[in-house]
Structure 1
Amino acid sequence: MILIVALLLGVVAAYLAIAAVEMLRLGIGFRQALFYVPFKLAYPIADRRIRIAREAKPPVIYAIVHQSRIDPALMLALLPQDTLHILDPESAAAGWLEPWRELARTIAFNAEHVFVSRRLVRHLRGKGRLAVYFPDAVEPDMKAFRLYRAVARIATKADARIVPIFIGGARHLPFSFTPAEKAPRHWFPRLTPVALEPVSLAELVERPDGQQTTAANALFDRTADARLAATDSFRSLFLAIRDAAFRFGAGRIVVEDAVAGALTYKRLFIEARLIGQRITSASAPGEAIGVMLPNANALVASLVGLFSASRVAAVINYTAGPANVTAAVRTAHIRTVVSSRAFVQKAGLADIVEAAEQGGAKFVWLEDVSTSATMAEKLGAALLWRRPLAAQDAAKPAVILFTSGTEGTPKAVVLSHRNLVANAMQAEARIAFSPRDTLLNVLPAFHSFGLTGGTLLPLLTGVRLFLYPSPLHYKLIPGIAAKVRPTVLFGTDTFLAGYARTADDNDFSSLRLVVAGAEPVRQETRRTWRERFGAEIVEGYGLTEAAPVVAVNTAIHNRDGTVGRLLPGMQLRVEPVEGIAEGGRLWITGPNVMIGYMTADAPGEIQPVDAAWYDTGDIVSTDREGFITIKGRARRFAKVAGEMVSLGAVEMLAQALWPEDRHAVVAVPDRRRGERIVLVTTAEEAAPEALVQHGRNVGANALMVPQDIVKVDEVPLLGSGKTDYPSARRLAVERLGLDKAA
C-alpha cells in the first residue's frame, strides 16, 4: 500500500514539475499548465511560435483554423486566460470541455454571434482578446467566407490586430473534422501550433504595389500564410517526400504509368535507393546529374534517388534540339546523365545522346542499374529505404531546369530543395489536394510546371499520380483519362484544346479541377471544357525562376481573363514602364524564388539573385481583390511609330476573330516606323481587311492591327507547349523577304 501511495505521489510530483516547467517556458497560468501537460505528454508538440500569440498586445483577434475537436482545448491552454473564444455550435456544446470553461472568460458564444458585432467590438476596444475559429477549408464556400468578412469588419471597427493560428498536423488526429480518406488518421501525430506576428488590417490591405485589397481577402490571405508557415518547407525533398510516406502510408500507391504499373511509396524509395547508390559511386555530393527520361515511374525514382544522394537533378529538355542540349550540358557542367536505352531508341534520340556526349557527359543506363544490382544491394535498399544516402540540406540546390528560350537563349535556373517544397506547399495552401485525388500528368518534367505541379506536388500531398509520356498524343490521352478517371489535370491551352477535339464527352467527366498555365487560356477552350466536360479551367501563372507557380485562380477566387491571385508567402510590386499606361513591370519575392542562374560563360557556377525582389520581365495589372492580368512580356512589346504595342494583345485580337486557329504575333524591323507587327497564323481565311474591321469594332488602336499576315500549317511550338516565338519570327522574316540579320 505504501509503495502504491509513494508511486502515486511520485506521479503527481512529476506532473506538477512538468506543469511548472511549461508554465515558466510558455508564460501560461498554472491551471493552464495543468491542462496543457496531457497534450504535451501525448503528442510531440513544437510550440515555440505560440509565444507570438501570447505576447500580442490587445486589442487582438486570434484567427484560428479549426481542424479538430481538440483545437479549442489546446488554445484554452495556450492563449491568454482573458481571451473570449467563439466556437461553432458542435465545439461549444462539447461536454468534455465543461470542467475547463473557467480557463477562459467564456466559450459559450455560438459562432453565429460573430455577426452580432457590437458587443464584440466593445469587448475588443476595452483591450480585449477574441479567438475566432474558422472552418478548415483551403477553398471555403461563400457561406464560410462570410465569416472572414464579418471578422474583418469587427477588426476594422475595433482597430484590433490579427494573429492567425494554424496547428500543423491537427487534421490527421482521430478527432479531425476532415474525412479520413482525405486525411489519414494517426493517434499521435506531431503538432505544430504556428502563430504569425500581429498585424492590423490597415497594414494587411496595403500591398507593396501601392494598391489596397479588400479586408476580407487580406484576412483570408493572412490565415493562408499561417497554413503555409505550419508546413516544414525547410526539409529537403527526400525527407519531405519520406514524411509524406509516413503520413499517408508507406503501402499507399503513389505513382503509376501505363507500362511499369503502380508503385507504393515504399517501393518507390527502394528503387530510388538502388539508382542513388549507383550515382553516388560515380559522382560527388552537390554535383549536377543529367536526367533524360519521359514521364514514367523511372523518372520519379531517379529524381528521388538523386535527392537521397544529395545530387542536383539537371532535367534535360530532349525536345530542344542537339545544339541546345550540348549547351545545357556544358552550362550546368553535367558529367553524368541518367537515361534509358529503350526510351532513346523508341523516341529516336540518338542525336540528342550524341549531343550530350559532345558536351562532356557520360550515360548511366537504367537497364544496367536494374540488371547489375546484387541481392545484397536490393536487400539493403529494402531495409534502409527510409534513410537518405547522404546528408540533406534544404538550402542547397536540388534541381536545374533550362528555360524554354521563348525570348532568346535558354538559361539554367537553379532551384533549392526549399524553393520546390515551399512552392508545392504554397499551392496546397491555395488549392485543396488530398489522397482522394488522382492527377493525370502529361507535362514533361523538363517543364517546371510538369516537375513541381505534375510530379513533386502529388508525392508531397499523397495524391495518386498517373504519368503519361507525351502531351502531344491528342488522340490517345482522352482514352487514358477515361480509364484512369483522374480528378485533377494540369495542362496548357494548346494541349487542352487538342484533347477536346478528339475526346468523347465522357472521357474527362471525372475531373473536378483543370489547372492551365504557361500560356493564356482562350475563351473557346474554356467554353468547350465547361460545356462538354463540365470542367472549369482555372488559370495560373508562373515562371521557372519561381519554381514555378506565382499565382492561380481557385474555386472561390476565380476571374476569367486573369491568372488569379498571388500564392501565400509571396509579395509583388508593379513598377511603371514608359509608354504603358495601365499596369507595369512585375517584381516578386518569396521562398520559391530561385537561388540563381548558371550561364555559358561560367559553367557550373551559380550566379545568385542580386536582391530580394526578382524582376519577372512581365507586364501586368492588378485589381483591388488582387487578381493579376498578364499584359505580356516586356520583350513582347513593340515600339510602333513611337507607341508601345502589346504583341499579346494583338494575339488576343486575332484569337477573337479566328478562335479555332493558332496565332503568333511577332515584331520585325521597319525603317519608317521602327518596328512592324506580323501575324503568323493557321487561319486560312485570315486577311488584313478583316482584322482592320474587327479592330474598329472593338475600339483597338490602329497601330495594333498587323498589315502583314504569314499563313502556316502549324505555329512553331516548344516541347512545353508554349509558342516558339524566335522560330515564328525567323519564319516571318523569311516569308516576308526581310533582312535575316535584323
Structure 2
Amino acid sequence: MTIRSPYPDVEIPEVSLFEFLFADGFGDRTDAPALIDGGSGASISFAQLHGMVVKIAAALAERGIGAGDVVALFAPNTPYWVAVFHGVLRANAIVTSANSLYTPGELAHQLADSGAKLLITIAPFLDRAVAAAEQAGLTGDAIITMDKAEGHPALADLLATTAEPPALTVTATDTAVLPYSSGTTGKAKGVVLTHRNLVANLLQIQPLIQVSPETKILAVLPFFHIYGMTVMMNQGVHGRSTVITMPKFDLVEFLRVISTHRIQRVYIAPPVAVALAKHQVVDSYDLSCIEVIVSGAAPLDAELGRAVARRLGCRVLQGYGMTEMSPVSHCIPDDRPDIDLNSVGFALPNMECKLVDPGTGKEVGPGERGELCCRGPNIMTGYLNNPEATAATLDADGFLHTGDVATVTDDGVFTIVDRVKELIKYKGYQVPPAELEALLLTHEKIADAAVIGVHDAEGEEVPKAFVVLQPGAALTEDEVMAFVAERIAPHKKVRVVEFIDAVPKSASGKILRKDLRAREPQAT
C-alpha cells in the first residue's frame, strides 16, 4: 500500500533556486543580517548577500563559466560559502560540494568524476586542493580562494568585477548541485539534484518546521552536506531568518555562539546530543534561548533526546532523509511534541511512501517491517554518469529505495528500525565498507579484508576491519589503522581491527557480513 503524507500537497513553482530565493526582494529584511560569522560576529545583510551573488556570477561568467559547467566548493562553513554557492548557480552553472575533510585523492575523484572546471577553497586547504587539482588535471589558475593566498585569485577579485551578470537561463529541471553520496553501497557517487528538487524540499518542510524572520539558526553542520545546504543554509534564506555559521564543531565554542547570539533553532547529529546531555561545561552557558533542537543524519536514541530536552528546557525532534532526497523526506513537526521521539515523524507533503519486504519484494502494511521507498518532487534524477547505480536505487515507478527498514503506524508515523544497506554511519557521516576494503587490499601484507559497522562503548557505530594476512606476514592492529588513516578522511578511519584466517563469503564471492557480525568480540 502507498502511504501519503497527512499534510496536503504544496504547489511547487517551476523556477530556478535563485529566482525562488532572491527574485521577490527582501521587504523589511533587506538590511537585516542574513548571515553572521559565529566566531567574529561579522554579518552580511540580505541586500549584501544578493549583491555578492550577482557579482560572483558576473565574475565567473568572465572566466568562461556558464550553463552546464561544474564548480567545486571545498571549504568550511562561512557566510562567504553561501554567497559563492548562489553565485555559481546565478552564473547558470552547477555546484559540486566537497567534504572539507577529504584527502587529495578523495577530492581528486570528485573533481574528475563531476568534470569540475573550477575549485573554490580557502588558503588553509590549499595543500590538499592543489594536489587534488593536479591529479584531476586542473591547472593552478583554476583554483580560487575565499581568502587571500599568494598565487591564486581570491573572492575579493571576483567581487571587484564591473561586469554585468549573464542572463539567467537555467530552468527548474536543470541540474543545480552535485553532492556526493555513497548511496546504498560503494564509492561516493554524484547525486544529480535539480533546481526543482531543492525548491520542492524547501516548500515541503515549511508546513512542519516553524521558521520566521525572527528565527536565528545555527549552522555548525557542514553546508557541503545536503542537510546543512537545504535545512540550514537555504531554509534560512527562504525564511528570511538569520543563519549563524561555524566552521567546525567545538563544544565550548558551540555553546558560546548559541548563548552570545541567542540562537533559537539548532540542528545537530546524535553525537552532539551526547555532549549536550552529559558534559558539565553545558551548565556554564545560558542556553535558555534554544527553542528547538532537530537531530538528523543518523538515528537518535529517544532517551538521549529526552535527556537533552529536560536539561535545556527545549523541544528535541528528529528527521530523516538522504542526499538523494534533497534531503528531507520525514520529520517530527514542531507542533507535535506527542510524537514518539524514536520515530522520524510523518512523510512530508507531496511524498508517497511504501514499505517493501526485502526478501519477497511484496509491500507490507502498518506494523510490519519493510524497506522504506519514497517518491516525490525532491527525489534525485539519478547518479551522475552511473545508470547501473541509478537503476539499483530508483525503480521503474520512480520510488527511491532507501536501504533503511522502517515501520509505520496507522496514523502515518514512520520509525527506522534497521538497515538493508551495508553503509556505516559514523557521527552522521557515510562510510562505505567497500571503499575501506579496497584500500586495505592495497597493503602488500594483507591478503583479504572485510569491513562492517560495530558499536563502541558509547554506542557510536564505527568501522571494524577483519584482516587476513599474507602467509608469513606480520602486522599489528595499530599498523593497519595507521595505514588507513594516512590515506582517507578522518571519519572513515578503521577504529577496530581483528585478524582472522579467512573472510566468510558466499558461493558467488559476496562477503557474508552477517557471519562477521556474529563474531565476538565486535568492538572495543
TM-score bucket of the superposed structures, by smaller chain: 0.7 to 0.9
Q: Which residue number in structure 1 is paired with residue 85 of structure 2?
A: 303
The 1:319–1:325 alpha-carbon spacing in structure 2 relative to 1, beyond 3 Å, is same
User: 1:566 maps to which residue?
Assistant: 347
**Counterpart of 2:401 in 1: which secondary structure?**
strand
Q: 1:165 matched to which residue of 2?
A: none
Distance 1:476 1:339 in 2: 23
Give me the whole-angstrom Cα distance separating, in 1, the residues matched to 2:355 and 2:490. 26
Aligned twin of 2:251: 474
Structure 2 alignment gaps of length 5 or more: 438-449, 460-476, 505-510, 512-524
Output the CA distance in 2 between the equivalents of 1:406 and 1:565.
22
1:735 to 498, 509, 516: 498
The separation in 1 between residues aligned to 2:159 and 2:417, in whole angstroms, is: 57
| CA distance in 1 between partners of 2:158 and 2:84 (Å) | 15
Amino acid at match of 1:281: E
d(CA) in 2 for partners of 1:505, 1:319: 30
Change (3 A) 1:532 1:738: farther
Equivalent residues in 2 for 1:637-652, closer than 5 Å: none
- Which residue is 2:402 aligned to? 616
CA shift at 1:409, angstroms?
1.1
Matches within 5 A, 1:519-668: 519-554=298-333, 555-556=335-336, 558-578=339-359, 582-599=368-385, 611-636=397-422
Percent of pairs with identical residues: 23
Secondary structure of the residue aligned to 2:372 is strand
Q: How many angstroms does 1:739 deviate by? A: 4.2
Counterpart for residue 2 of structure 2:
208
- Kindly provide the amino acid, as one letter, of the partner of residue 237 in structure 1: L
> Which residue number in structure 2 is paired with residue 28 of structure 1?
none
Match of 1:336 in 2: 118
The answer on whether the counterparts of 2:26 and 2:240 sit within 8 Å (CA) in structure 1 is no
Q: Does 1:250 align with 2:27?
A: no
Contact 1:621 1:630 in 2 (8 A): yes
Q: Which has the higher contact order (CA 8 A, sep 6+)?
A: 2
1:363 corresponds to 2:143: yes
Query: CA offsets per residue over residues 631-689 of structure 1, 9 Å max, x none?
Result: 2221259xxxxxxxxx99xx9xxxxxxxxxxxx9x99x9xxxxx9998441369xxxxx
* Deviation of the 1:510 alpha carbon: 0.6
What is residue 16 of structure 2 aligned with on the other side? 236
The whole-number CA distance in structure 2 between the counterparts of 1:397 and 1:405 is 18
Deviation at 1:327, TM superposition (A): 1.1
In 1, Cα distance between equivalents of 2:354 and 2:184: 24
Q: Secondary structure at the match of 2:179?
A: strand
Contact 1:235/1:393 (<8 A) preserved = yes
After TM superposition, list the pairs within 5 Å mapping 1:152-191 onto structure 2. none
Q: Give the Å deviation of 1:496.
A: 2.7
**Counterpart residue number, 1:199:** none
The residue aligned with 1:443 is 221
Q: Which secondary structure does the structure 2 equivalent of 1:504 belong to? A: helix
Is this contact kept in 1: 2:343–2:416, CA < 8 A?
yes
Is the counterpart of residue 513 in structure 1 residue 295 in structure 2? no
The structure with the larger Rg is 1
Is it true that 1:484 corresponds to 2:261 in the alignment?
A: yes
DSSP-derived class of the 1:433 partner: coil
Report if aligned partners of 2:60, 2:158 keep a CA contact under 8 Å in 1: no
Shift in alpha-carbon separation, 1:389–1:272, aligned structure 2, 3 A? farther
Summarize the Cα distance change of 1:493–1:683 in structure 2 as closer, same or farther, 3 Å threshold.
closer
| One-letter amino acid of the counterpart of residue 2, structure 2 | P
User: 1:60 maps to which residue?
Assistant: none
How far 1:723 sits from its partner (Å)?
11
8 Å contact kept, 1:291–1:337: yes
Deviation at 1:530, TM superposition (A): 1.5
TM-score, reference length from structure 2: 0.75
Alpha-carbon distance in structure 2 between the residues aligned to 1:249 and 1:548 = 27
Query: Secondary structure at the residue paired with 2:498?
Result: helix
Secondary structure in 1 matching 2:101? coil
- Say if 2:67 and 2:170, in contact at 8 Å, map to a contact too: no
- The answer to whether the 8 Å contact 1:505/1:533 transfers is no
Separation of aligned partners in 2, 1:727 and 1:370: 33
Partner Cα separation in structure 2 for residue 263 and residue 439 of structure 1: 15
Any residues of structure 2 matched to 1:649-688 within 5 Å, and which?
Answer: 679-682=454-457
In the other structure, the counterpart of 1:277 is 58
Cα distance in 2, alignment partners of residues 567 and 267 from structure 1 = 33
Deviations 1:280-300 (A, max 9, x none): 123231111101121111101
Give, in whole Å, the separation in 2 of the partners of 1:676 and 1:299: 35
Alpha carbons of 1:503 and 1:740: their partners in 2 closer, same or farther (altered >3 Å)? farther
- Structure-2 change in CA distance of 1:470 and 1:340 (3 Å): same
Give the aligned length: 440
Q: Tell me by how many angstroms 1:736 deviates.
A: 3.9
Measured after TM superposition, the shift of residue 587 of structure 1 is: 1.2
- Compute the RMSD of aligned alpha carbons: 3.7
Over 3 Å counting, the alpha-carbon distance change for 1:434 and 1:680 in structure 2 is: closer
**C-alpha separation in 2, matches of 1:438 and 1:334:** 34
Superimposed CA distance per residue, residues 157-192 of structure 1 (whole angstroms, 9 cap, x where no aligned partner):
xxxxxxxxxxxxxxxxxxxxxxxxxxxxxxxxxxxx
Q: Does the residue aligned with 1:578 lie in a helix, a strand or coil?
A: coil
Q: Is this contact kept in 2: 1:593–1:614, CA < 8 A?
A: yes
The residue type equivalent to 1:241 in the other structure is: L
1:422-463 residue CA offsets vs partner (Å, 9 max, x unmatched): 101111122221111000110111211011001011101111
Which letter does structure 2 place at the counterpart of 1:633? R
- Equivalent-residue separation in structure 1 for 2:317 and 2:490 (angstroms): 20
Shift of 1:552: 0.2
The amino acid across from 2:345 in the alignment is G
Say if 2:85 is the partner of 1:322. no
Q: TM-score, normalised by structure 1?
A: 0.54
Shift in alpha-carbon separation, 1:558–1:547, aligned structure 2, 3 A: same
Deviations 1:102-152 (A, max 9, x none): xxxxxxxxxxxxxxxxxxxxxxxxxxxxxxxxxxxxxxxxxxxxxxxxxxx
Query: Residues 51-450 of structure 1: matches in 2 within 5 Å?
Result: 208-209=2-3, 218=6, 221-222=7-8, 225=9, 228-229=10-11, 232-243=12-23, 245-247=25-27, 249-257=29-37, 258-259=39-40, 261-282=42-63, 283-341=65-123, 343-344=124-125, 350-361=127-138, 362-366=142-146, 367=148, 368-372=153-157, 377=161, 389-403=167-181, 407-450=185-228
Structure 1 residues 528 and 594, CA gap change in structure 2 (3 angstroms): same
What amino acid is aligned across from residue 635 of structure 1 in structure 2? K
Counterparts in 2 of 1:575 and 1:271: CA distance versus 1, 3 Å:
same
Q: Distance in 2 between matches of 1:370 and 1:314?
A: 18
In structure 2, the CA distance between the partners of 1:339 and 1:458, relative to structure 1 (3 Å rule), is: same
**2:470 match:** none
Secondary structure of the corresponding residue to residue 300 of structure 1: helix
In structure 2, do the counterparts of structure 1 residues 679 and 315 end up closer, same or farther at CA, with 3 Å as the change threshold?
A: closer
Are 1:478 and 1:499, in contact at CA under 8 Å, matched by a contact in 2?
no
Aligned partners of 1:430 and 1:568 also within 8 Å: no
| Aligned partner of residue 290 in structure 2, secondary structure | coil
* Alpha-carbon distance in 2 for matches of 1:609, 1:247: 44
AA of the residue aligned to 2:20: A
Runs of 5+ consecutive residues of structure 1 not aligned to the other structure: 1-206, 382-386, 638-646, 652-663, 670-674, 685-709
Shift of 1:405: 6.7
